[in-house]
Chain A
Amino acid sequence: MARKLNLRIWRGDSKNGELKDVQVDVNEGEVVLDVIHRVQATQMGDLAVRWNCKAGKCGSCSMEINGKPRLACMTQVASFDENETITVTPLRAFPVIKDLVTDVSFNYKKAMEIPAYEPPKDLAPGEARMEQVDVERSQEFRKCIECFLCQNTCHVIRDHEENKKSFAGPRFFIRIAELDMHPLDILKNRKRTAQEEHGLGMCNITKCCTEVCPEHIRITDNAIIPMKERVVDIKYDPSRMFAGLLKREKRD
């Protein structure tokens, strides 16, 4: 049964904007993205919103819903009180392009700075043998749908624009962790570069990224903390520092 929903949508561009109130029909079982689409089709033909799969798998419809970073396709209207006004605003950590669409190019630039996977030189295609338990560690991080909600919520960049230059953000810490734990990758010193070049040290493990991850990736516990611990080990362990001079191994 259709009922009316009070929706408040941020409309504007890079220069200015404001919250606009609309009333829109909502049916049982609908998610926030459905009602945004209804507004678009019936009231605001030029309302800008990103989306693709509508099944929580592509990470396109990231926005802030009542102030919380969410995927609009995975947020049930029924999860709010019937009389509650739902407010949708663009991601705050990135510059607005129009309405609910932001410029997320920061993330793609950072992606290009992470050293790529490096396979063993003498491994022929089809010859790789890996244990399931060993691939699962990296697989957890490869579930990432790049919705960038973790990037958006991380206060290192959310509240400090100036940090963007030297801080890759949680999405790319799990990328580094994934490669570091990859059973075949041979590139050395991934953790150290995470610390020295990608700003791992700026993270003070408040776990906000983990909380907003729609894929429930344990970003802080399984990627960031283990890397931080190992970096500390390497940095302050004199015997390892000495051994490191003699033999550089991947598992630093």
Chain B
Amino acid sequence: MTQSALQRHTYDVLVIGAGGAGLRAAVEAREAGLSVAIICKSLFGKAHTVMAEGGAAASMGNVNDNDNWMVHFRDTMRGGKFLNHYRMAELHAKEAPDRIWELEMWGALFDRTKEGKISQRNFGGHEYPRLAHVGDRTGLELIRTMQQKIVQLQQKDGREFGNMEAKIKVFAECTITEIVKENGKVAGAYGYWRESGEEILFEAPAVVLATGGVGKTFKITSNSWEGTGDGHALALKAGANLVDMEFLQFHPTGMVWPPSVRGILVTESVRGEGGILTNTNGERFMFKYIPDVFKDKYADNEAEADRWYTDQDNNRRPPELLPRDEVARAINAEVKAGRGTEHGGVFLDVSKRLSPEVIKKRLPSMWHQFYELAGVDITKEPMEVGPTCHYVMGGVEVEPDTAAAVGVPGLFAAGEVAGGMHGSNRLGGNSLTDLLVFGRRAGMGAAEYVKKNSANPVSDATIKAAAERIEAPFSRTGGENSYSLHAQLQEITHNLVGIIRTRTEIEDAIAKIADIRKRSKNVTVTGGRTFNPGFHLAFDLDNMLLVAESTAKSALLREESRGGHTRDDFPAMSNKWRQVNHIASFNGSEVTVKAQPLPMLPKELFDLFDVHELEKYMTPEEIAKGGSN
């Protein structure tokens, strides 16, 4: 790549990723008067956010007016087993309703209550009906609404500047390989166009990472090809930290049959609407798996569980609506005990409780998905489901109020790529509002930063180094194939750092990941630069390897089981371990992980809980202190 041919663009803010968090950040930064580049690996509007089915959790209280931010905050902390960064959970619970109403002002059309308000549905771990939704395609509604909001801003810019792309431009099918820094601060980003393979440099004082998750690191996943942990790896390489990388959420209900759709999600709304889980003996097994900490919230018999659907004030919830980690472990245990289907799943049945018309109305895309992909009519027969890698709780360590990445001036992160908000386990529905709340805050944080910090020119030496890295796989011959290395990595993570872990297996995984990393330095690409997936995967693989290493090393240190981290050799949750986060950083050759004390709940938030509940999670010393102030 010659210097003169390099495309260069200058903006105030770069947003990497065009899912919910990225688009919300872009809107915020533009409305603060800045110029914004939105960079995404796929076409505009295809982000994984479109897959979110169930809804967006916000305590608007439209269906049950007992709901408020404090109840939502409590549910979020419980769901995360109190490992959440309290401030993120607090901001999220407080601001979620405004973010939903704001979307409505931008044209979103949520399903309605009889009074004409935004309807809210029940979901696992949420005490009241809380999820604003549009059938079961809520994520698509979020993306379209924000995509169209961006068009609206572009039309406004067009009237003002004579060019619709004067202040916001979407760079679709463009991959970032590096966050560029000069003098210790962010100076931009370097990457390539997927279509042409040509290289591109963005110069900007602030970068917002909104790249989503890491699911493609694992064999069975609900994530698309894009979920390769790019933002996680870019942040690590830029000097930021990853927090809580041992926590992966295995969604309890992925499709298990046929094999081509293995991993694809069956929304939790199926359970929220009355779907029950049974094993091959016909037993509704979830009653056996209610953990002590949830005994007073969940029904222990079928009669009460069934009554709950019509009378939620006087009955406890059905155990199918336990947080995702509990349900995933229960299904895993049933299958392991030989009570699973021949394809390694259990049955999820909605046909017994709801009429075909109601199923098609409330769960239209699920009906569609099973009918067209699996030839199963869910109005008549049960679905076969099992756990699938769905979401990473861990991510970039950020300042909660500004979404600024700790340790890298000018870098911000929001959405799945950021860590802390969900603790050890995310509640369904909290992701979509997380995107909106922290996407907006990242946009604000970046705007504030840009006002105080000017652009930092990118040096020729930096460009040369970035360009050489992209060139490398083309100049080698006879090396490794990126597809087969990727498949081997997925096999390792799935078998050795998957849903159930032990020390020896994790150590084995760490050694094997290091070996693949060594071999990946020798990846060769066949074909040219034009839209070449083999070339693209070579770079994505590098990111997944850093993610896998961070996850394995964090998992090795945490000697307890909590949320999305289950150790066979340490099956209990330990109140001492709740006091630490694991912080992963990268020194250029390997990932190192250290423990860091978790910020203590301040008194006003501590006092929102019954002290007996806190005793299940906290040490006597912490309880005695009663909060941090």
Contacts and interface: CB of A to CB of B under 8 A. Distances in A.
Contact of A27 (B50, B260, B528): B260
A55 B366 CA distance: 10
B535 interface: yes
Given A31-B373, A52-B42, A135-B112, A142 B527 contact: no
A184 B112 CA distance: 14
A143 to B, nearest CB: 7
Contacts of B102: 125
Nearest to A55: B264
Given A125-B101, A135-B110, 14 more contacts: A27-B259, A27-B260, A29-B258, A45-B526, A45-B534, A46-B528, A47-B533, A50-B42, A53-B46, A53-B50, A58-B50, A97-B530, A101-B531, A108-B44
Given A53-B50, A54-B264, A59-B46, A98 B530 contact: yes
Contact of B258 (A28, A144, A179): A28
Interface string B139-152: 01100100011011
Interface string B166-185: 00001010000000000000
Q: Name which of B60, B149, B532 has the most chain A CB atoms within 10 A of its CB.
A: B532
Residue among A28, A52, A135 with the highest chain B CB neighbour number at 10 A? A52
A135 B109 contact: yes
Interface of B: 42-46, 48, 50-51, 60, 97-98, 101-102, 104-107, 109-112, 115-117, 119, 134-135, 137, 140-141, 144, 148-149, 151-152, 154-155, 164, 170, 172, 195, 224-226, 257-261, 264-265, 365, 368-369, 372-374, 481, 483-484, 487, 525-528, 530-535
Interface residues of A, number: 61
B510 to A, nearest CB: 26
A146 B102 CA distance: 24
A130 B164 contact: no
10 contacts: A29-B257, A29-B260, A46-B532, A49-B533, A50-B43, A51-B225, A53-B224, A55-B261, A117-B148, A125-B104
A238 interface: no
Given A53-B51, A57-B140, A117 B152 contact: yes
A115 B261 CA distance: 38
A84 interface: no
A74 B261 CA distance: 10
Contact of B530 (A13, A42, A130): A13
A56 B369 contact: yes
B264 A130 contact: no
B106 A117 contact: yes
Contacts of B115: 129
Contacts of A34: 260
B107 A129 contact: no
A98 B534 CA distance: 14
Given A31-B260, A58-B51, A112 B137 contact: no
B341 to A, nearest CB: 15
Contacts of A59: 46
Contacts of A52: 42, 46, 48, 224-226
B112 A132 contact: yes
A111 interface: yes
Contacts of B148: 116-117
Contacts of B373: 31, 55-56, 74
Given A56-B373, A117-B152, A131 B526 contact: no
Which of A13, A30, A128, A132: most chain B Cβ within 10 A? A128
Given A58-B46, A58-B224, A48 B107 contact: no
Interface in A179-235: 179, 182, 184-185
Given A45-B526, A56-B368, A131-B112, A117 B104 contact: no
Nearest to B116: A129
A24 B32 CA distance: 53
A29 B259 contact: yes
B195 A45 contact: no
B284 to A, nearest CB: 28
Nearest to B109: A135
Interface string A152-173: 0000000000000000000000
A153 to B, nearest CB: 19
B260 A125 contact: no
A97 B532 CA distance: 11
A2 to B, nearest CB: 11
Nearest to B484: A41
From B104, B151, B531, name the one whose CB has the most chain A CB atoms within 10 angstroms.
B531
Contacts of A58: 42, 46, 50-51, 224
Contacts of A57: 50-51, 137, 140, 365
Interface string A104-135: 10001001101111010001011011111001
Nearest to A74: B372
A28 B106 CA distance: 45
Contacts of B104: 125-126, 128
A64 interface: no
A169 B106 CA distance: 24
3 residue pairs, one from A and one from B, having the closest CB atoms: A29-B258, A46-B527, A129-B116
A40 interface: yes
A137 to B, nearest CB: 10
Nearest to B372: A74
Nearest to A116: B152
Contacts of A138: 109
Given A29-B258, A46-B532, A125-B102, A142 B525 contact: no
A142 B42 contact: no
B164 A112 contact: yes
Contacts of A48: 530-533
Contacts of A56: 368-369, 372-373
A60 B43 contact: yes
Given A132-B111, A143-B137, A97 B60 contact: no
Given A29-B258, A46-B534, A135 B111 contact: yes
Nearest to B158: A112
Given A58-B46, A58-B224, A112-B155, A46 B533 contact: yes
A86 to B, nearest CB: 15
A111 to B, nearest CB: 6
Given A55-B369, A143-B137, A111 B151 contact: yes
Interface string A7-28: 0000001000000000000011
Given A29-B374, A31-B260, A139 B109 contact: yes
A42 B483 CA distance: 8
Contacts of A126: 60, 97-98, 101, 104
A34 B259 CA distance: 10
B94 to A, nearest CB: 14
Contacts of A185: 107
Contacts of B149: 116
